[in-house]
C-alpha cells in the first residue's frame, strides 16, 4: 500500500490509525506496548500514548492533540522508511542513452562494477577499474556481452546492452547470494 493511501486510511479512522502507528512503533521501541487495533480508545491505548509522550514528546497528558499526533506520525514515518523495501535502481538513462568510447558519464561506474563481479564467474571479461571512463577495456567488456547475446559487437553501452548486463548480473551475482541466506540488511561493518 502506498504511503498516501495509508495516511488517508489512518485519518479516516483516527483511533485505529493511532493504534496502528503506535503498534508499529512498538516493534522498534519495546517501551511501547503492542496494541490491538480495535478502534477503541481504552486503557491500553491511553497507556501507550502516555508512554510515547514520556519517552518522545512531553508533556505527558494522555491527550492526542495535533502536536502529539504529528510527533507519533513523524516517528512512524521514519520507522516505515527504514523498513520499506528499496526502490528499484534506475542506473541507465533510458532508451536514447548510450555510452560511446571515451565517454565518462557519472553512472558508468555501476556497469563497470557489475562487470567486475561477473568477471569472477565468466572467462573473457577484461579486468577494468571502476573509474567511469568508457575506455577500450570497458568497451571490450560491452563487446563480450554483445557477443554472448548474439548482438552486433559495437562496444557501445546502450539500453539493450544495459538490459542484458542487468539480467546477467541478477542471474549470476544476486541470485547466487539468495540460496545461501546471505542478505544485505544495512548498516556498517
List alpha helices for the chain, DSSP H. 3-12, 14-28, 43-56, 66-83, 109-119, 136-148, 159-169, 175-177
Band of residue 186 on the pLDDT scale cut at 50, 70, 90:
very low
CATH number at residue 104: 1.10.101.10
Residues 76 and 25 in one domain: yes
The band of 1, judged by pLDDT with boundaries at 50, 70 and 90, is low
pTM here is 0.51
Structural domain contains residue 128 = yes
> Over the stretch 8-58, which tens digit does the pLDDT of each residue have?
666 678 898 899 999 999 988 999 999 999 999 999 999 999 999 999 988
Query: Nearest 10 degrees: CA dihedral of 116, 118, 123, 129?
Result: -10
Q: What is the pLDDT of residue 11?
A: 67
Question: Which residues touch 120 (CB under 8 Å, ≥6 apart)?
Answer: none
pLDDT in tens, 105-137: 989 999 999 999 999 888 899 998 999 999 999
pLDDT tens across 138-170, in order?
A: 999 999 999 888 889 999 999 889 988 988 888
Same domain? For 105 and 64 the reply is no
Which of 21, 53, 83 delimits the end of a domain? 83
Asked whether residue 117 is assigned to any structural domain, the reply reads: yes
Q: What range defines the domain where residue 12 resides?
A: 3-83
Split into its structural domains, the chain has a count of 2
Contacts of 6 (CB under 8 A, 6+ apart): none
Question: Residue 173 pLDDT > 50, yes or no?
Answer: yes
The verdict on residue 182 lying in a domain is: no
Place of cell 572467462: 123
Give mean pLDDT, residues 84-101: 77
Q: Cα separation of 99 and 162, whole Å?
A: 10
d(CA 173, CA 189): 21
The pLDDT of residue 68 is above 60: yes
Region of residue 156 (left: phi > 0; alpha: psi -120 to 50; beta: else): beta
Whether 13 and 68 map to the same domain: the answer is yes
Could you tell me the pLDDT band of residue 80, with boundaries at 50, 70 and 90? confident
Based on the fold, state whether residues 109 and 136 are members of the same structural domain: yes
CA angle at residue 61 from 56 to 63, to 5 degrees?
A: 95
| Grid cell of 15 as nine digits | 483511533
Amino acid at each position: 500500500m502506498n504511503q498516501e493511501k495509508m495516511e488517508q486510511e489512518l485519518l479516516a479512522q483516527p483511533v485505529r490509525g493511532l493504534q496502528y502507528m503506535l503498534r508499529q512503533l512498538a516493534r522498534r521501541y519495546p517501551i511501547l506496548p503492542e496494541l490491538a487495533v480495535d478502534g477503541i480508545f481504552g486503557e491500553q491505548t491511553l497507556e501507550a500514548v502516555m508512554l510515547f509522550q514520556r519517552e518522545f514528546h512531553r508533556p505527558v497528558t494522555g491527550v492526542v492533540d495535533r502536536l502529539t499526533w504529528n510527533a507519533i506520525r513523524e516517528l512512524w514515518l521514519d520507522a516505515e522508511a527504514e523498513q520499506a523495501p528499496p526502490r528499484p535502481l534506475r542506473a541507465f538513462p533510458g532508451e536514447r542513452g548510450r555510452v560511446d568510447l571515451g565517454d565518462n558519464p557519472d553512472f558508468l561506474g555501476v556497469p563497470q562494477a557489475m562487470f567486475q563481479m561477473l568477471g569472477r564467474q565468466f572467462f573473457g571479461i577484461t579486468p577494468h577499474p571502476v573509474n567511469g571512463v568508457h575506455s577500450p577495456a570497458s568497451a571490450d567488456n560491452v563487446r563480450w556481452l554483445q557477443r554472448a547475446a548474439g548482438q552486433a559487437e559495437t562496444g557501445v553501452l546502450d539500453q539493450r546492452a544495459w538490459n542484458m548486463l542487468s539480467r546477467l548480473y541478477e542471474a549470476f551475482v544476486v541470485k547466487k547470494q539468495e540460496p545461501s541466506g546471505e542478505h544485505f540488511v544495512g548498516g556498517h561493518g
